[in-house]
Amino acid sequence: MTYIEVHMKKLFNIILAVGIFAAAPAVAQSTFSIQYSMGFGNNDVKSFISSASFRGAALEYRYHIEPKFSVGADIGWNTFYERRAYDTYTSGTVSLSGVQYRYINAMPIFAAFDYYLKPDEKINPFIGLGVGTLYTKRNTDMNLYTIENTVWAFGLRPEVGVLVNANEGLDIILAGKYNYGFAAGGLEAQSFFNFNIGIVFKGH
């Protein structure tokens, strides 16, 4: 197991502990969210796959320490895919001709900290920060050959969004996120934007 993998496992355990600790108090102050996620590549991700990702989802838990502040944990998933036309592609000293199929599976896992601007109103904007790890699995398939890179990288995720109160036990969430994983394991920094929409279940 590499140095990065060891430390990413430790970081994942810390994030998991945050979720467990937050879940211990009364559920009246907790929320759980299920979201559909669209992804839009940036920098190296966009260079590798120019197409957006419309296959994605996210799960979020929040414990509200006070009306304006919460802590919790997030896990997300997005798949980027692109078919490259028949061409000759060169990697190092090797050149191959054919059709390329490119994939990126990205899974951000973050401890989350959110600040709510208008918690007592129907429309409640918020800002947030995630700290954790970004798992990236990148595949290039061509003819009978596959090149695969798998990386766990330290990551950050700023977020802006809004909660719209639907009823006493349910909110609608709209959020924009920027996922950034630092360079690791032979890959450059991996970054992409998310636009998420989902439902938030509020504890009683």
Maximum Cα–Cα distance across the chain:
63
Number of domains in the chain: 1
The span from the CA of 14 to the CA of 30, in Å, is: 19
Confirm if 58 and 39 have CB atoms less than 8 A apart. Answer: no
Q: What is the pLDDT of residues 102-134, one digit of tens each?
A: 999 999 999 999 999 999 999 999 999 999 999
Q: Give 29-68 as a DSSP string.
A: GEEEEEEEEEEEEETHHHHH--SPB-EEEEEEEEEEEETT
Domain range spanning residue 115? 3-202
Nearest to 37 by CA among 182, 183, 174, 190: 174
The span from the CA of 104 to the CA of 195, in Å, is: 18
Evaluate if residue 21 carries a pLDDT over 80: no
Query: Which residue would you say has higher pLDDT here, 17 or 154?
Result: 154
Q: Which domain CATH number covers 36?
A: 2.40.160.20
Nearest to 108 by CA among 36, 192, 30: 192
Evaluate if residue 3 carries a pLDDT over 50: no
Residue in this structure with the two tokens 């090797």, named with its chain if needed: 94
Q: What is the pLDDT of residues 149-198, one digit of tens each?
A: 899 999 999 999 999 999 989 999 999 999 999 999 989 999 999 999 99
pLDDT value at residue 92: 59
Altogether, the residues listed in the chain come to a count of: 204
pLDDT value at residue 12: 55
